[in-house]
Structure formats: structure tokens, C-alpha cells
Amino acid sequence: MARLVLKFGGTSVADIDRIRNVARHVKREVDAGHDVAVVVSAMAGKTNELVGWCREASPLHDAREYDAVVASGEQVTAGLLAIVLQAMGVNARSWLGWQIPLKTDDAHGVARIGDIDGSDIIRRFEEKQVAVVAGFQGIAPDNRIATLGRGGSDTSAVALAAALQADRCDIYTDVDGVYTTDPRIAPKARRMNKIAFEEMLEMASLGAKVLQVRSVELAMVHKVRTFVRSSFDDPDAPEMSDFDNPPGTLICDEEEIVEQEVVSGIAYSKDEAQISLRRVADRPGVAAAIFGPLADAGVNVDMIVQNISESGEATDMTFTVPSADLAKAVDVLEKTKAETGYDAIQSEAGLTKVSVIGIGMRSHTGVAATAFKELAKIPVNIRAITTSEIKISILIDSDFTELAVRRLHSVYGLDKV
């Protein structure tokens, strides 16, 4: 039999009825003879409520006490699920992060996992006990609770699966898998049976909301086969008991994917902003003087384009940042003007980054040309382009987002069954 880690998000455990439904999913795997550990999030909306209470108590609060408060949401869910499982006759016990222990660094509120000792949980598998683990939390070097930041329960689950050497980590959510693009924009979007780690990492970082980026990175590094499926499917449906091919999307090494599509999906990210620095001094160290302070200020920079300077004295530099960080970025850059020597700074918010993703692009030509030709038919003005081995990202005006996504989804044949 297999060893499984099952993770359930906030909408899946939003109330007692849904927790009972989650328990049925867990019991199905236990009855099949599998060793099972479960990672749970706080009930939907609970973390936001707890964060709000911290801010109401004091706008400038101690990060360690903040963690003590917000980690309580997962603790409640873990205890409730263990109680429901016990009532169903399942041997279950709840665990908090410090009890495993799941060790983190000292960055309270945004901690990163350093080590997990899963030996006690593995020992209890021999007694057929289900471990119900509170996600999103661990223990810092100061022996205080530390939380992992938004989406931390996904990261907890994948890290635990790696520590337990699980055969698979099943991420139960409110969608039934990973789609070729957002079905709300392209009704013909298809659920993928499999997607490579690298492709999923690109999709997660470029706007797909199914999985948190850090969890995909962790899964890729530790080769944790991760399965995205819906907690709202009937737990007792016959297809749910098919271990090898249940409904959902498997995220795995590309070697497991026999027929690799040239393009696997189209992702998009709205609320991008573009910043252009005009006539920047063209000398060594200037780029560091621009992007170093932005990094120190916590501004995520993407899609950097630098024009070639003919004179060798000045050049133009254009890049994107999230719209929410635009004001902060401009303020930081204005303070660097004396060192960087630019003549003018121009900015514009409300743009969209549309990305074409696929590991098959490594061995096929013409993928970029196809995208550019299709967008020219709309017509849409392309403001910036960046590429990697498996991705092409294009910056466009937000007014064209839905049309561009649908056209690209169609031109690469992703809407065909």
C-alpha cells in the first residue's frame, strides 16, 4: 500500500459539514490500506479575521505574537477534523507544527522550512494512526511558533510529504485540477492529466492560483509527485478509489509525461506596471544601483529590457513591477537618481502579462512567431517580451487580456479535446 499526504484548503474545511466531507475522503484512503497524514488550513476567512484582530489591537505589532494568533486557525481545524475522524472509527490524532517538529528560520510571518523530523509520525503509521497536521506553521530557533506566509499550508504539505517519503501529496482544493488556462476566460479550457514541475512552477508564478509557488518549488526539488484534485467530488464515487488515475492533475517529473505538448498552457497576470528610465548612464554598476535598492525595498522586478546604447554614454531601461508596488518603486528610484544618472522616469499601471508555457518549446521552433502573428491580428500592441526555455511572456494593455488569452489558447490547439 502507499503512503499519502492529503492537504485540504480553507474552502474545503469552511464548516463542520465540509470537515465531515473531508473526513470521508481521508477514511476512503485509510480503508484502502494506505498510510495517511493530513495537512489542513484554517477555515475559510478565519486567517483574515485573525490578521484583522492583530491590526486592530496595534498597527505595529510584534511579529512573534502575530504568529501566535494567526496560527490558531489551523490548530482549530486540525482538532476538529481529528474529532470527526475518531467519531467515524478512524484512529486519528492532531499535530501542531512544533510537535512534529517542523523547524523554520527566524523570519516570523514569512518563515521558511529548514527541517522536518517525521519519525514519530512514521512510527504511528505502524499503529494505523492518521496524523492530522496544522499547516502553515512550525517552530523557530527561539522556540516560538512561526508561520510560513500566505499559501503556507501547501508548502507544509509538500515538505511533510518529502520528510515522510510519501508516494504522493494530494492537494484537495475547490477546483478539480490544473487547466490549460482560466476556464472563466476560455470556456474550452481543458483539465490536464499531467503537467511537469517546471511548467507548473511557471504557471503558478505567472498568475495561476491553483498552487502556491513555494510549494511547487519544493515539490520539484524533492521530486514529490503532487496531485491536484477537488474536495467537492463525492468521496464515495467509484473513480475516487482509482489510486493510479483518479480525477485531477498530476504534477510530476517530465520523464513521466510520454507525449509532451509543445504548449501546455496560457497564464496571465493582471495589474502589472511598467517603469522606463530614460537615458541612464551606460557604465558598470548602474544596473546594480537600480535593482539593488528595489530588492531591498521588497519590490519584485520582472521583464527587464535594456536598449543597446549607440553612443556608449546613455541607454534606456524598461522593466515591470506589480501595480501595487509602483509608487514604492518610483520613490526608491527617485532616490537613486544621483547615482544612476537617468534623465527621466516614466511609469504606467494597469497592464497585463500573458505567458505561453510548455516544455515542448525546447525542441520546437516558431512558437514565439505564432504568438506574435496571432496578437497582430487583434491587433494588440506588445510593450515588452521576455523568454526562457519553456516560456514566452508578453506585456500588453489590460483591455486586451481576455481576447489575447482566448486567441492564444486556440492558436496552439489547447481547446481541442
188 is in an annotated binding site: no
Separation between Cα atoms, residue 11 and residue 29, nearest integer Å: 21
- Its pTM stands at 0.86
Per-residue pLDDT, 310:
61
Domains in the chain, CATH or no CATH each: 3-255 (3.40.1160.10), 265-411 (3.30.2130.10)
Task: Pick 311 or 41 by higher pLDDT.
Answer: 41
Cα–Cα nearest to 76, from 9, 6, 134: 134
Q: Summarize pLDDT for 324-383 with one digit per residue, the tens.
A: 899 999 999 988 888 878 888 999 998 999 999 998 888 788 888 999 999 999 888 898
CA atoms within 13 A on the CB side of 151: 13
Separation between Cα atoms, residue 291 and residue 272, nearest integer Å: 17
184 is in an annotated binding site: yes
CB 335 within 8 A of CB 284: no
Residue 284 cell numbers, joined = 558598470
Cα–Cα nearest to 48, from 97, 14, 86, 92: 14
Per-residue pLDDT, 249:
93
Q: How much is the average pLDDT of 139-148? A: 96
Separation between Cα atoms, residue 159 and residue 136, nearest integer Å: 11
136 is in an annotated binding site: no
Per-residue pLDDT, 417:
60
How remote is the C-alpha of 348 from its chain's centroid?
26
66 is in an annotated binding site: no
Q: Summarize pLDDT for 311-334 with one digit per residue, the tens.
A: 667 788 899 999 989 999 999 998
Cis peptide before 101 (omega within 30 of 0): yes
173 is in an annotated binding site: yes
Q: Summarize pLDDT for 72-129 with one digit per residue, the tens.
A: 999 999 999 999 999 999 999 999 999 999 999 999 999 999 999 999 999 999 999 9
Alpha helices in 32-128 (DSSP H): 46-57, 63-70, 72-87, 119-125
278 is in an annotated binding site: no
209 is in an annotated binding site: yes
Q: How much is the average pLDDT of 243-252? A: 90
Q: Summarize pLDDT for 288-311 with one digit per residue, the tens.
A: 888 898 998 888 888 888 876 666
10 is in an annotated binding site: yes
CB atoms under 10 Å from CB of 149, counted, come to 14
47 contact partners, CB below 8 Å, separation of at least 6: 10, 41, 70, 73, 136
